Amino acid sequence: MRNGAALDPKTCDRARIARDPRFDGAFYTGVRTTRIYCRPTCPVKPAKSKNVVFFPTAAAAERAGFRPCLRCRPETAPGTPAWRGAAATVSRALRLIEQGFLDGDARVEALADTLGMTARHLRRLFLRHAGASPTAVATTRRVQRAKALVDGTAMSMSAIAFASGFASIRRFNAAFRAVYRRSPTSVRRARARRAHGAVAESRAPWHSSGGRSRPWQRAR
């Protein structure tokens, strides 16, 4: 990995096929056939190597038109090692974004002023090192925070929107739909159904046979 963005495809491919946890958060795999991007540790059967492309950040994958996998949940990946090798200015900017500098109505120009450069130059650095603009990176981080709250809490959607740094519920819904291609409410309902199904399956008696004879009856 060079400058936090130049990924070695062969290394990435070996890592994602092996589901190597050492690479979790270091890059993301986009599957061209499904237009979904995953963590290297995704439990789904790995796609064919000819059908994948690699990205240094989740924002870069989304910028290329991929949406997050609902199985491996990219929003729960550890901190992004890909950014550690980025230019010092970009690394500082990323830390500020993580802390919420661009939340609400804050503009990239304000971030650039804080870093002592023009907004145009900052955008150029981000595209080189993170594969996406500062705004795209900030939006991805807000949506990721929101997704974690949608999955892990019973908070209302309006509360999640403001807790995640969105200036309004309308912007939250629009950003979430743009990333996941569905509303946050539908994602929460789908996860609740999966969780309910898993609980029901785990509680089902092992000898359940849907009306068929039980094992010990057939053995007689």
Which residues have a catalytic role annotated?
38, 42, 69, 72
Contact 111, 137 (CB under 8 A): no
Residue 78 to residues 24, 154, 172, Cα–Cα distance (Å): 7, 24, 23
Report d(CA 58, CA 144) in Å as an integer.
Answer: 10
Contact 154, 147 (CB under 8 A): no
Query: 């990176």: which residue's tokens?
Result: 137
Nearest C-alpha neighbor of 8 from the set 33, 22, 27, 32: 27
